Amino acid sequence: MAGRLSPTNPRYHPSYLGVVFDLDGTLADTRHDYHAMRLAVKNLAEKAGVPYGELHTTMTLPQMISYAEERLHQLGASEGIRLRLEADIDRALEALELKSLPSAVLVPGAKETLERLHRDGFRLGLLTRSSERYVQPLLHRLGIRDFFRSVRTRTDPGPAKPDPAALLALLKSMSVTTDRAVFVGDNALDLECAVGARVNFIGLVHPGHPTAARSEEDLRRRGAQELVHTFGELEVRIRGTA
């Protein structure tokens, strides 16, 4: 596994050197209660001063958080209020993430693919909107932490996914240029992040997941060019072999 080949000398000499994975829904089946997360953000934002009814739970979490921050700024809320809201939201989301930790499982085939890619010298990174306190225990419990050269979470300093700067910062820490990188994710936020960073994207949608059909439809509608349904298909695309 680790150390058999230099990470700068992949066995198959593919065009990709770095592979960045999303976590929830891509590598692990976590089944977060996203409705509860959105409701928590809505309630906290309204308590901080965002007018009632402007935030909707049909929005994505990043959209809700960004809207709340911008709206409070427009309304003249102090920096203290905005920072307090940011901290309150992080705590609320983290509590819900940690609640789902015991039931999280790896998607079948994920560990075997990570092992082979790592063994063959690909530089692997992880980019997730989950918190550091949730991600690290999960990676260790699932036995996949050692595969990743770099990990970037929502609570790390600086921008978070889907801001393309988050992906660019991760690739810099991996010493991988954008033209040698691919981002693997399962939803439109992952695609948005990859497109913004000008990094190739492969959508990995697992047919057995309850939201698979909706995710695939959304990715196709937003212009995703490469979509796969198994880790075996994914490896073929990454390695560039037929």
For residues 91 and 181, state if they share a domain. Answer: no
Counting the structural domains of the chain, the total is: 2
Query: ω before 162 within 30° of 0 (cis)?
Result: yes
The answer to whether residues 97 and 217 belong to one domain is no
The per-residue pLDDT for 13 is: 43
In a shared domain, residues 232 and 120: yes
**pLDDT tens by residue, 88-123:** 999 999 999 999 999 999 999 999 999 999 999 999
Is pLDDT of 3 > 60?
A: no
Q: For residue 225, tell me if it sits in a domain.
A: yes
**DSSP letter for each residue of 141-169:** HHT-GGG-SEEE-TTSSS--TTSHHHHHH
Residue whose C-alpha is closest to residue 112's, from 142, 78, 80, 67: 142
Q: For 150, phi and psi rounded to 5 degrees?
A: -145, 150
What CATH number is associated with residue 151? 3.40.50.1000
Domain end among 101, 119, 144: 101
pLDDT, tens digit (0-9, with 9 covering 90-100), for 170-184: 999 999 999 999 999
End-to-end CA distance of the chain: 24
Domain that holds residue 219: 18-31+104-239
